Chains A and B, each alone.
Chain A
Amino acid sequence: MEATLKQKRKTSRFNFRGSLCMPYAVFMTLFVIAPLLLILYYAFTDANGVFTLDNWQTVFSSPENWKVIGMTFVISISTTIICILIAFPIAKILSNKKLNKNAVLVYIFLLPMWINFVIRTIGLKSLVDGATESMFGYKLTVNYPYIAIIIGMVYDYLPFAILPLYNQMLKLDKSQIEAASDLGANPFQVYVKTIIPMTIPGIVSAATMTFMPTMSSYVIANKMSNNTTLIIGNLIQNYFGTRVTDISNHIGSVLSLVMLIIIGFSIVFEKLIDKKGDEKKGGIW
C-alpha cells in the first residue's frame, strides 16, 4: 500500500496537465515568435545577410513615406474619435434595460459582420458615390478620398467600438448617477462628472479596438479611394507584393517594426490611462 502510494506520488511529480501546453508552446514559438524575430533580423540586414542601417535610411529619407505615416495617424485618430462619439450614445441606449430587452438590439448591430467586410466596403463605396453624384454631381471617393476612407473605416469598425463600451455601461453604478442628479447636478454635469469617468476603461478599450486595426486595414483605404491614397498598411504590402526585389522585404520589415513600435506606445498609453480609471477589466477587451 505504502509502496504504491509512494509510486503514485512520484509519478504525479510529472505535471501531466501542465505538459499539455507543449504543442501550443511549440506552435507559438515557430509561428509567432520566430517570424517576429525574422522581421527584426531583416530590418537590420541587407539581401546578403550583412548588418546594415541602410533600410532605415531608405524608409525615413523619403518624404513620401513621412507623408503617408502622418496621414495614417490623421485617418486613424479621426476614425477612432468619430467611432467613439457615435458608439457612446448607442452603447448608452443599448445598455438601458427598458429600451433593449434581452440585448437583442446588440446582436442586430453585430450581424452585418457576418458578411465579408470587403463586400460591405464595396457596397458602401457605391452607395456613397451614388449619393454624392446625384446630390452634388461628383464622386466622394474621387474628389475627397480621405473623407471617404474615414467613412469606410468608421462603418467597418463601429461594432468594435460599441461592444466594449456596451459591456462597460452594463456595469455602471446606477446609484451614483441617481445620487448626482438628486443632489442637483444637471444632466450635462451628471455625464461629465459620473458617467464618463466610470466608462473610461470601456472608452480606452474601444479606442484601441479601432485605432490599431485602422492602421493596417489597407483594403478599406484602397477601395474607398480607388487606389489613390496610401496608409502604412499599403506601404508594407507594396514591399511584400508580387513584384519585389531582394531588398524590398528588408525595407518592409523596417516599416513593420515602426508599426510594432507605434502599437507598443499605444499599449503603454492604454495602461497609463487605465491605471487612473481604476476599474478592473479583463485582458485587452
Chain B
Amino acid sequence: MEKVMSEQDINKALARKRVNAKILKVSAIGFIYLALILMYLPLIYITVFSFTTNQTTGKWGGFSFDNYTTLFNVGGNKVAQAIWGAVGNTVMVALVAALIATILGTLGAIGIFYLKRKWMKNTLDFVTQIPIVNAEIVTAVSLCILFVITARTIGLQRSFITLVIGHVVLAIPYVVISVKPKLEQMDPSLYEAAMDLGATQTQALFKIIIPDILPGILTGFLLSITLSLDDYVITAFTKPTSGGFDTISTYVDAATAKGGLPTQLRAFTAILFAVILFIMIFMNIKGARDAKKIKTKGEYRK
C-alpha cells in the first residue's frame, strides 16, 4: 500500500514538474518577445508616423503618401536632396575606408603574425588594441588636433581624405583581430611547400596565404562597413569643416537639433526598416528550413 502511494506521489511530482517546465518555457518566450517588441517599438513608431505629414512625430495629421513622394522627388525638394546627398557620402566613405582598412589591416595581421622579434609583435598587438578600448571621443579629438596641425604645417586641411583616415582608424583594429585567428588556424607547411616548389614570396602570399584567410578578411571588411555606417563622433571631428558635407549621422543630428525628425526622414527610416524586416523574415524562414533539414537528415533518421 505504501509503495503504491509513493508511486502515485512520484507521478504527481513528475506531472507538476512538467507543468512547471512548460510555464517556464512559455514565460521565457514571452519575455524574449516582449524585449524584441520594445527594441523595435521606436522604429515601428517612426514607420507609423511616416504616413502622415504633421511636422511633429506623434501627432496624426491624416493619412498620406506625401512623405514618400517628396522623398523621391529629388529635383524639387531640398530635404530629399540633403538626405540622398548624405546617403551617398555615407556609403562612399564607408566603402573607401573599409577597402583601405581591409588592405592595410590584412597586411598588418600577416606581418604581425610572422614577425620574429617578440617585442615588435607585442608592441603592435598593443597598438592594435588602442582604438578598440579607447573612448571614441578621445580618438576623435586626437585626430582633430592632428589635422589642425597638419593644416597649419603641410596644408592637409580637413577634407574627405581626413574623414576617410578617421574611419580607417576606427575600423582597422577589427580587420586585424578578424584575420588573426584564421592565420593561427593555417597549416604552415603549405607555404613552405609552395616555396620549395619554386614559388616566389609574393606568389606564395597571393596563392596560399590570402585564399586561406579570405573568410577572416571578408568578416573584417563587413565589420568595417558596419562600423563606418553607424559612426557619428569620429565623423563629426574629421569631416570637412566647410561646404556642408554631411553623412547620415551628422545630417540627422543637425536636422533634429531643434525638433523631431523631418517628415521625409521618417519615410526614409520606414523604407530601411522594411528592408530589415524583410531580411528578418527571410532569415526566420531559412532558419526553420535548415532546422527541418537537420531533423530529417540527422538524429531523427535511424
A residues with a Cβ closer than 8 A to B are 15-25, 27-28, 31-36, 38-39, 42, 86, 89-90, 93-94, 96, 98-99, 101-102, 104-105, 107-109, 111-120, 122-127, 129-130, 133, 155, 158, 212-213, 215-219, 222-223, 227, 233, 236-237, 240, 242, 249, 252-253, 256, 259-260, 263, 267, 282-284
CA distance A77 to B181 in the complex (A): 33
List chain A residues, Cβ under 8 A from B269: 115, 119, 123
**Residue B287 interfacial (CB < 8 Å):** yes
Check A111–B276 contact: CB distance below 8 A. yes
Q: How far is the CB of B87 from chain A (nearest CB, A)?
A: 10
Do residues B42 and A263 form an inter-chain contact, with CB atoms below 8 A?
A: no
A27 contact from B28, B56, B172, B260, Cβ within 8 A: B172
Contact B57 A23, beta carbon cutoff 8 Å = no
The reply to whether B138 and A114 contact each other, CB–CB distance below 8 Å, is: no
CA distance A65 to B281 in the complex (A): 48
Closest-CB distance, A28 to chain B (whole angstroms): 5
B134–A260 CB distance below 8 A: yes
Cβ of B39 under 8 Å from chain A? yes
* Sample of 9 more A-B contacts, CB < 8 Å, known A21-B112, A31-B165, A217-B233: A18-B114, A21-B110, A119-B265, A216-B233, A218-B233, A236-B138, A256-B142, A260-B134, A263-B138
Residues of A within 8 Å of B287, CB to CB, are: 101-102, 104
Taking a contact as CB atoms under 8 Å apart, the answer to whether B283 and A19 are in contact is: no
Q: A115: which of B28, B110, B146, B273 is its contact (CB, 8 Å)?
A: B273
A116 to B265: give the CA distance in the assembly, Å. Answer: 12
Binding site for A on B (CB under 8 A): 25, 28-29, 31-32, 35-36, 39-43, 45-46, 56-58, 104-105, 107-116, 124, 127-139, 141-146, 148-149, 165, 168-169, 172, 176-177, 181, 201, 205, 209, 226, 229-230, 232-233, 236-237, 241, 248-249, 252-253, 256-257, 260-261, 265, 269, 272-273, 276, 279-280, 283-284, 287-288, 290-291
Residues from chain B with Cβ under 8 Å of A96 in the complex: 28
- With the chains together, A111 CA to B277 CA distance in Å? 9
Q: Is the CB of B135 within 8 A of A114?
A: no
Minimal beta-carbon separation of A234 from chain B (angstroms): 9
Inter-subunit contact A127/B41 (CB<8 Å): yes
Tell me whether A111 and B280 are in contact (CB under 8 A): yes
Q: Residue of B at shortest CB range from A101?
A: B291
Report how far A35 CA is from B276 CA in the complex, Å: 38
Are A123 and B43 CB-contacts (below 8 A) given A27-B172, A216-B138, A256-B137?
yes
B135, A126: Cβ atoms under 8 Å? no
Given the complex, which residues of A lie within 8 Å of B127, measured CB to CB? 25, 28, 32-33
Residue in chain B with minimal CB distance to A20: B111
A36–B43 contact, CB under 8 A? no
Q: Smallest Cβ distance from A52 to chain B, in angstroms?
A: 17
Least distance between B246 CB and chain A CB atoms (Å): 12
| 8 A-B pairs with least C-beta separation | A21-B111, A24-B108, A35-B142, A123-B42, A17-B114, A216-B137, A130-B58, A20-B111
Q: Please determine whether B137 and A236 come into contact, CB atoms closer than 8 angstroms.
A: yes
Q: Whole-angstrom distance between the alpha carbons of A27 and B131 in the complex?
A: 13
User: Does B148 lie within 8 Å of A126, measured CB to CB?
Assistant: no
CA distance A14 to B205 in the complex (A): 15
Do A116 and B229 have beta carbons less than 8 Å apart?
Answer: yes
Contacting residues, chain B, for A219 (C-beta < 8 A): 232-233, 253
